[in-house]
A = this chain, B = another copy of it.
Amino acid sequence: MASIKDVAAEAGVSVATVSRVLNQHPSVSQDARLRVTAAVERLGYRPNAVARSLRTDQTRTLGLVISDVMNPYFTELARSVEEEARALGYSVIIGNADERPDLQDHHVTTLLDRRIDGLLVSPTDGGSPRMLDAARTGTPMVFVDRWIPGVDVPVVRSDGRAAVRDLVAHLYELGHRRLAIIAGPAATTTGRERVDAFREALGAYGLALPDAYIGQGDFQAASGRRVTEGFLGLAEPPEAVFAADNLMALGALDAVRARGMRVPDDIALAAFDDIPWFVHTGPPVTAIAQPTRELGRAAVRALVDRIEGRTGESVTLPARLVVRRSCGEAVPRDPLPTPSVPPVPSTPSPVRRSTP
């Protein structure tokens, strides 16, 4: 592969001049510029990003460590991150932790070894020493979706509290009183928060959340199935189940079906994280939608701000309830209208379409 030396020889100039042309440095004569670009063209030369990075100490690359690629929520997040990063002139390297702390650590380590300019993480646990260390020693970093309390890193996430309240109101309205939740891992902030928000919302209706109605899941489908089977086996099973993510809702659907029961006739189901497929499940699933694309964009912007010496603040965007049919048929047509869509802010709207 041709190097800058070959180009210099071909153009009859020094490597310094070639470099200057490549980096649009002003003090290069028109003549030299032309000769160099011609030589570049002729040789099909492309600068070696590795060498450039070594010298400039920047890779123009962002690392993104997500909890689970197979989860459509994270897939969409990854996509919007890459999009925004590309727009700002950065590449993204994705690491999939698969909800495993050891894998998360592996990816953080390799990304750091490659000297990425900044790191976007949705932590699976409390954080490995390596990651905490990187955060402390000043590697530009931003948490997205989940975060680690006590670590001084901006967080870009969405707040589901209001949406969870709307959901509980919706369930109450439909006559459900025994409400259960399939929780995410307690090691994650989202795992804990969603349970808290749910309990709080129940409290507002004078409803309790007994321990038997809190099933411990791990954000993966299999756990949703297992927990739901447990609920269904109870002497007094819940009338409605709220899954803390979409994959566990899928597992719940499985469990209900396996038992020959039906949603919502026999049991109601709702999920955190809305995804296109929920429109087409039998029945369509009521879910809490996060402004995923906006989260991705905001996270990248905050990270790039940090990298380039600007401030880079935390951002919290509201989630919203999308009512479908999995909690029971909406009585006639009025009683509890779908909460109105929040006002559209400045640029790209956080509103998510509920149909693909």
A interface residue numbers (CB < 8 A to B): 44, 46-51, 53-54, 59, 69-70, 72, 75-76, 78-79, 82, 86, 91, 93-94, 96, 106, 109-110, 112-115, 133, 221-222, 250-251, 253-254, 257, 276-277, 279-284, 355-356
Tell me the minimal C-beta distance from A201 to chain B in angstroms: 27
State how many copies of this chain the complex holds: 2
* Interchain residue pairs A-B with the least CB separation, the first 3: A282-B282, A49-B113, A277-B277
Q: How far is the CA of A69 from the CA of B72 in the complex (A)?
A: 10
In-complex Cβ contact of A69 among B53, B78, B115, B133 (8 A):
B78
Chain B residues contacting A44 (CB-CB under 8 Å) are 133
Q: How far is the CA of A96 from the CA of B78 in the complex (A)?
A: 10
| Given A281-B282, A282-B281, A356-B254; A114-B276 close (CB under 8 Å) | no
A281, A283, A284 — most chain B CB neighbours (10 Å) = A281
Verify A51–B54 contact, CB threshold 8 A: yes
Verify A69–B59 contact, CB threshold 8 A: no
Verify A113–B221 contact, CB threshold 8 A: no
| Given A54-B54, A70-B76, A113-B46; A82-B96 close (CB under 8 Å) | yes
Chain B residues contacting A96 (CB-CB under 8 Å) are 79, 82
Give A48's nearest chain B residue, CB to CB. B115
| Given A281-B280, A282-B282; A113-B48 close (CB under 8 Å) | yes
Give A222's nearest chain B residue, CB to CB. B356
In-complex Cβ contact of A70 among B46, B75, B86, B94 (8 A):
B75
Chain B residues contacting A250 (CB-CB under 8 Å) are 276-277, 280, 356
Verify A79–B69 contact, CB threshold 8 A: yes
Chain B residues contacting A113 (CB-CB under 8 Å) are 46-49
Q: How far is the CA of A46 from the CA of B91 in the complex (A)?
A: 23
Q: How far is the CA of A202 from the CA of B54 in the complex (A)?
A: 59
Q: How far is the CA of A114 from the CA of B116 in the complex (A)?
A: 13
Give A257's nearest chain B residue, CB to CB. B280
Give A107's nearest chain B residue, CB to CB. B91
Give A46's nearest chain B residue, CB to CB. B113
A-B contact pairs, 30 of them (CB 8 A): A44-B133, A46-B109, A46-B112, A46-B113, A47-B113, A48-B54, A48-B115, A49-B114, A49-B115, A50-B50, A50-B54, A50-B114, A50-B115, A70-B72, A70-B76, A70-B79, A72-B72, A79-B96, A86-B106, A91-B93, A91-B110, A250-B276, A250-B356, A253-B280, A254-B279, A254-B280, A257-B280, A277-B277, A280-B282, A282-B283
Give A98's nearest chain B residue, CB to CB. B79
Q: How far is the CA of A279 from the CA of B279 in the complex (A)?
A: 14
Tell me the minimal C-beta distance from A270 to chain B in angstroms: 15
Chain B residues contacting A70 (CB-CB under 8 Å) are 72, 75-76, 79
A76, A106, A282 — most chain B CB neighbours (10 Å) = A282
Tell me the minimal C-beta distance from A272 to chain B in angstroms: 17
In-complex Cβ contact of A59 among B50, B51, B91, B251 (8 A):
B50
